[in-house]
Each structure stands twice: as structure tokens, then as C-alpha cells.
Structure 1
Amino acid sequence: MIVISNPTAVANEINTIHSLFENGMELFHVRKPDFSEEEMKTFVTAIGLEYRNQLVLHSYHHLAKEFGINRIHFSSTNRPDNFQKTEGFTVSTSTHSIEEFNELSEDIDYAFLSPVFKSISKENYKPNVNWSTEIKKRTHFKTKLIGLGGIQAENIHQAFQFGFDDVTLLGTIWNSNNPIENFKSCQQIVLSF
């Protein structure tokens, strides 16, 4: 199960990230679109060295080698055309339709497809398709299909029934008074699939 950082700073953020890792978070996507390069360096440095191989950089990809990070993410707007993977890197991207997902390079390891449900963190961001029929149009099976958007304990089973390979948490973690409890609830459901 993947967790994406809140785009802006959150109280006790680094402590929460460490607790998430201690409770079994597999990957943590560092998405801080307004961070300067220096702010990004400070943020990544604050996360324990033992978790570096589980971090995914959304920006300042050139910092990956410097920090010993081997995972990078491209948004749908900054994904290179005719993408070819760099040796030793795991690469992910974002998509917003099954058609866009189906056209991805086989060099992309996994891709977010959103929104699956009404977003918890983004105002008025909700699906405009029926995922139970849309995912049947999937023709690309080399890249893992990861559901994002409105994912919480109450609907994870439905996301897997739609046909997603895994799910990503954002709002259910960062827009909550109980981020670790929410993570554990979601994790138990994911582990049952």
C-alpha cells in the first residue's frame, strides 16, 4: 500500500511518516509541488536514512542519486514522450483515464489512476466514469494499476473489485485526526485480498 505526502506542510509530518513506516507502509511518495530544491533536501534529510529506499520523488529527480533514492514519479503533464527507463530506477506516473493508462510505456512500473472515488483532499474532484465497466477496457497489464482518490477503509474492497492492483492513500491519512489508525484499518483490508 502506498501513501502520498500532503502537498503542503502538516503538523508532526515527519513523526507521522516514521510511524507509517513502522506500521508497514511500503512506499512513500514525496509530492511537495511548491517546495524549493532546498526545502526538498531538508524534508528528505529529515526522513530516516533507513527509509530512503522506500521514498519516491515527484520533483527534483536529479536529487535521487544524491540521496540514494531509486524511485521517481512523473505527473501526467511532465511524463516524457517515448519514455525509456533508467537502469536501476523504479518509475511511476499518474493517469486520469483507462485510455491514458493503456498507452503507457511498458517501462513504467506502476501508475496511479484517479479519481476512483470522491476525493477527500481535493474539492469537487470525483470520478466521471463507472470504474466497474471502465477497467474492463484495460489492455496494458505490464504496468501495475493503482487506485487513487477517495480511498479509505470503507471502499478499498470496492476498488479491488473494480480491478485495481493496489491502492494509494492521501486524504484518509492527512485529512484525519487519526492517520495511523486509518492506515492500519486500510492495511488490514488490503492484506485480506
Structure 2
Amino acid sequence: MIVITNPITIINEIETIHSLFENGLELLHVRKPEFTKLEMEVFVSAIKQEFRNQLSLHSHHQLAEAFGINRIHFTEKKRNETSEKCLKEWKERGFKLSTSIHSMTDFEKLSDVFDYAFFGPVFESISKPKYVSDIDFEKELKKRNNNKITLIALGGITSERIKTALEYGFDDVVLLGTIWNSNNPVENYKLCQQIDLSY
């Protein structure tokens, strides 16, 4: 199970991130689209060194190596702007690569340099109200041929919906709104974790 940071800075964010890791979080995607390089450096510096190899950067990829981060994420736009040669170079340097897709057609076309892909919004987004897809995910995932790349459900994932997403054929889920739009992010994470493990 993966968590994505809130796109904007929030109160006690670093403390909450540490607590999530201490409660079993395996992977945190750092998505701060408005951050400058310096802001990203300050943010990542505040995260304990012992957790940095469990981070993935969505932007300012050039900072990854210096911080001991070995995962980077490519938005759909960034992926389309990046050559296969460049992607392979990241891979050859030992990085795990992920990306975002919005259709099964895009998923099937993905280069096998990618380890996993986020696909959504599967349910109505919690962090972006009214943001919903018209894709029938249950039907779409039956067409899946590309099994080398892990497919991860994104969008509107709550503890009640994890089982449904996995039944559709997703390999895992990513949490965003259910964590950061709640009064108790860590307790919400633990609840999701129990559902995931009991599936």
C-alpha cells in the first residue's frame, strides 16, 4: 500500500509522515507540484534518513540520488516528454520507475522500464470532489495483458473500497484523500492497512 503526500503543505506533515512509516507504511510518493527545487530539498531533508529509501519523487528527480532515494515517478505529461533512452538510463542507474495512466490502452503501451503505474480515479476522488472517471474499471481490467507492470488503483480509495479495487483486478492501492483529508491520518492508514492485509 502506497501513500501520496498532500500536494500542498499541511500542519504537522513531517511528524505525520514519520508516524505513518513507524506504523508500517512501505512507500511514500512525494508529490508537491508547486515546490521549487529548494523547497523540495528542505522538505526531504526534514524526513528522517532511515525512511528516505522509502520515498519516490514526482518532481526534481535530480535530487533523488543525493538523498538516497531510488524511486522516481513520471506524470503522464513528463513520461510523454521523456525519451526511452533517458528512462533506460534511470533504470540502469538502479532506479525504480513509476508513472500515471488514464486508460488501459496507455497501460498496455507502457515500456517495461516502469515497475508500476497508478490508474484512476477509480472512485470519486476525495481530494478533488466531483473528479470521477467514466471508465468501467471492472470491465477494463479484464482486457489486461501487460502483467509485468504492477497496476495500482488511485482515486477515492477508502478502507471500505480497497477490497472492491482489488476484486476489479488491481494489484495494490494508493491512498491520498483518505489520509490527508481526515482528522486522524495515522488511524485511517491503520484501518486501510488491516483491510489490505485481510484480503
Using structure 1 for the length normalisation, give the TM-score.
0.98
The structure richer in helix per residue is: 2
Counterpart in the other structure of 1:182: 188
Match of 2:162 among 156, 160, 163: 156
Query: Deviations for 1:65-108, whole angstroms, at most 9, x for unmatched residues?
Result: 11111100000000124342233111100011111111101110
Q: CA deviation at 1:130?
A: 1.2
Counterpart in the other structure of 1:76: 76
Instruction: Give aligned-pair identity as a percent.
Output: 59
Partner of 1:77, secondary structure, is: helix
Partner of 2:35, secondary structure, is: coil
Q: CA deviation at 1:18?
A: 0.4
Q: CA deviation at 1:137?
A: 1.1
Partner of 2:78, secondary structure, is: coil
One-letter amino acid of the counterpart of residue 60, structure 1:
H
Query: Distance in 1 between the 2:145 and 2:99 partners?
Result: 17
Which ranges in structure 2 are unaligned for 5 or more consecutive residues? none
Match of 2:130 among 118, 124, 127: 124
Q: CA deviation at 1:178?
A: 1.3
Is the counterpart of residue 28 in structure 1 residue 17 in structure 2? no
Query: Distance in 1 between the 2:181 and 2:92 partners?
Result: 35
How many pairs are equivalent? Answer: 193
Using structure 2 for the length normalisation, give the TM-score.
0.95
Query: Distance in 1 between the 2:92 and 2:124 partners?
Result: 35
Q: CA deviation at 1:41?
A: 0.3
Match of 1:141 among 144, 147, 171: 147
Which ranges in structure 1 are unaligned for 5 or more consecutive residues? none
Residue range with higher mean Cα deviation, 18-27 or 123-132 = 123-132
